[in-house]
Amino acid sequence: MVTYERSVRVDAPFDEVWDFHSTESGLVDLTPEWMNLEIESVRGPDGEANPDVLKTGAEIQSSVRPLGVGPRQGWTSVITDRQEDDGSAYFTDVMEDGPFTEWEHTHMFFADGDGTIIRDRVVYEFPFGALGRAVGPFGKVGFEPFFRYRHRRTKGLLED
């Protein structure tokens, strides 16, 4: 599997940044329009529809159609871990069904004075066996604009 990482500092309080990223609306607000994201359902760990916070066990069923090309691709993610300590927090979502053979995205947040450091780490594997593994390192070409957009958008929405 291949790992992609990207970090940014946001001039906004830790609690505000963490709370924003812990919701379905945060996911929608940070997904580029060209992904054509549709959220089909969100269930909390207890089966509750549309929970206020995406806690461990929450499941998000969505679909994307990047650049409007090809059929919609289903994507089911589950929040597998979520921890918050004084000044740091993270959650991990794992793709249970979707276009990748493996996808694990850990969203990390660290208080930094009056701001917050956000670090994204994605561990992934493309489909198609040996061919997918061979081209895996080139995933950065597609991930970089996606995460650059997410980080720029976070700054635009949360910085004063």
| CATH value at residue 16 | 3.30.530.20
Least confident of 15-19, 38-42, 65-69: 65-69
CB 126 within 8 A of CB 22: no
Which pLDDT belongs to residue 102? Answer: 93
- The more confidently predicted of residues 130 and 2 is 2
Please state the rounded mean pLDDT for residues 17-37. Answer: 94
Query: Is residue 137 very low, low, confident or very high in pLDDT (cuts 50, 70, 90)?
Result: low
Which pLDDT belongs to residue 129? Answer: 73
> How many domains would you assign to the chain?
1
Which pLDDT belongs to residue 9? Answer: 98
Give the residue numbers spanning the domain of 62: 2-158
Task: Please give the Cα distance from 142 to 155 (Å, whole number).
Answer: 21
- pLDDT tens, position by position, 104-113: 999 999 999 9
Token pair, residue 41, equals 């359902």
Token pair, residue 77, equals 């993610």
Place of tokens 């561990």: 123
Query: Is residue 3 very low, low, confident or very high in pLDDT (cuts 50, 70, 90)?
Result: very high
- pLDDT tens, position by position, 72-100: 999 999 999 999 999 999 999 999 999 98
Query: Is residue 39 very low, low, confident or very high in pLDDT (cuts 50, 70, 90)?
Result: very high
Task: Please give the Cα distance from 105 to 103 (Å, whole number).
Answer: 6
Which pLDDT belongs to residue 136? Answer: 59
Q: Helix, strand, coil proportions of the chain in percent (round to 5)? A: 30, 40, 25
Which pLDDT belongs to residue 42? Answer: 97
- Return the bridge partners of 108, or none: 90, 119
Please, where are the H alpha helices in the chain?
A: 14-21, 24-29, 129-135, 140-158
Place of tokens 């976070």: 154
